[in-house]
């Protein structure tokens, strides 16, 4: 059994391209449609109600592309909107990135103490703590919002003095000398994997960094198998990019996250119409 419709992937901006990259590597047969809501980024500083309304509009646009599955490649949207989106799109499978990120953290920790860095909204909602403790109830979870990291990643400042200073300021207090410190750091925001090199440089090799990209790609593969939804073998799969603002900027900054050159001409500018539920 096969299903040749594309998979829809959504993020508030370009960070979700780190998940798209892992999906491309793990699922080379699949056609992918990616939507970045760049006009309304960041989601991470907004209220849960606003993020839910935006996310609903975004997935409704993906549905117009006849997608067979939706991946919420945004931690903020996954943490506050996964349940309502899954309900609204039933029976279409919807996968978020928080559970796969939690799974990666639980697999990596040796001492049972995980730190999670994310946006303010993800931290406030506590979804990572719940997801980690659902998988391993005795694990201690320390959460920290690092909103400036989103701006650094967007600016392409993935290393250098300013980036390292910001990392030191946010993260060193989580790892005091001689204290009971986490041995694993979950990058609970899709923007953060591009800062992984600089974070490792500051924290050293005693802390294992994990993100949700690869575990999400595995969760997608499992769901495709489970539901008989995998694409039939094909020579070259397609990726379609859409953004709600500035295709030029999406292509330039997105190339850093995607790890491949994206041409501005390959990015379609789209408008998200308010969903009925968001208007009421
Ligand atoms: N994509 C968001 C996330 O993974 C980060 C950017 C934002 O705040 O919108 O949480």
Q: Ligand 1 atom 8: the closest Cα is on which residue?
A: 44
| Distance between Cα 238 and ligand 1 center (Å) | 25
Res. 180 pLDDT band, cuts 50 70 90:
confident
E strand or H helix at 196, and its extent? helix 196-203
Residue 185 in tokens: 């750091």
pTM as predicted: 0.93
Lowest mean pLDDT among 78-92, 106-120, 263-277: 263-277
Segments of the chain assigned to CATH 3.40.50.1860: 7-96+214-279, 98-212
d(CA 208, CA 219): 21
pLDDT at 276: 52
Protein fold of 98-212: Rossmann fold (3.40.50)
| Distance between Cα 3 and ligand 1 center (Å) | 30
pLDDT at 225: 96
Please list the active-site residues.
Answer: 74, 189
Residue 233: exposure state from Cβ atoms within 10 A (0-12, 13-18, ≥19): exposed
The atom of ligand 1 lying closest to the CA of 45 is 8
DSSP string, 200-225: HHHH-TTSEEEESHHHHHHHHHHHHH
Q: How many CB atoms lie within 10 A of CB 184?
A: 23
Share of the chain above pLDDT 70, in %: 97
Q: Is 132 in the pocket of ligand 1 (CB under 6 A)?
A: no
Q: How many CB atoms lie within 10 A of CB 181?
A: 16
Q: With CA atoms as reference, report the closest residue to 80 among 53, 104, 60, 61.
A: 53
| Domain 7-96+214-279 part of CATH 3.30.70.1710 | no
Q: CA-based diameter of the chain, in Å?
A: 56
Can you tell me which residue has the tokens 């609204």? Answer: 88
185 strand-pairing partners: 115, 209
DSSP string, 119-141: -HHHHHHTHHHHHHHHH-TT-EE
> DSSP strand E in 1-81: where?
7-11, 32-36, 69-72
pLDDT, tens only, 47-74: 999 999 999 999 999 999 999 999 999 9
Is residue 132 a contact partner of residue 101, using CB atoms and an 8 Å limit?
A: no
d(CA 244, CA 247): 8
The atom of ligand 1 lying closest to the CA of 15 is 1
Res. 179 pLDDT band, cuts 50 70 90:
confident
């Amino acid at each position: 059994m096969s299903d040749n419709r594309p998979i829809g992937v959504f993020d508030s901006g370009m960070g979700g391209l780190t998940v798209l990259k892992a999906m491309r590597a793990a699922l080379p047969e699949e056609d992918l449609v990616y939507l970045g809501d760049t006009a309304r980024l960041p989601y991470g500083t907004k209220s849960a109600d606003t993020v839910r309304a935006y996310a609903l509009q975004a997935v409704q646009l993906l549905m117009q592309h006849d997608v067979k599955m939706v991946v919420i490649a945004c931690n903020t949207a996954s943490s506050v909107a996964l349940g309502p989106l899954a309900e609204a799109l039933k029976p279409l499978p919807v996968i978020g990135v928080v559970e796969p990120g939690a799974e990666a953290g639980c697999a990596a920790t040796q001492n049972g103490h995980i730190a999670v860095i994310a946006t303010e909204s993800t931290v406030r909602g506590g979804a990572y703590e719940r997801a980690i403790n659902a998988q391993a109830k005795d694990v201690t979870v320390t959460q920290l919002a690092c909103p400036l990291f989103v701006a650094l990643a967007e600016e392409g400042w993935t290393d250098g003095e300013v980036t390292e200073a910001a990392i030191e300021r946010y993260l060193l207090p989580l790892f005091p000398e001689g204290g009971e410190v986490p041995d694993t750091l979950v990058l609970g925001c899709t923007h953060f994997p591009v800062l992984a090199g600089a974070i490792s440089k500051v924290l050293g090799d005693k802390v294992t960094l994990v993100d949700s990209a690869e575990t999400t790609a595995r969760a997608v593969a499992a769901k495709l198998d489970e539901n008989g939804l995998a694409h039939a073998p094909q020579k070259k799969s397609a990726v379609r990019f859409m953004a709600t603002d500035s295709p030029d900027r999406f292509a330039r900054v997105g190339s850093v996250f995607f790890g491949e050159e994206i041409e501005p001409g390959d990015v379609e500018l789209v408008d998200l119409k308010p969903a009925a539920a968001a208007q009421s």
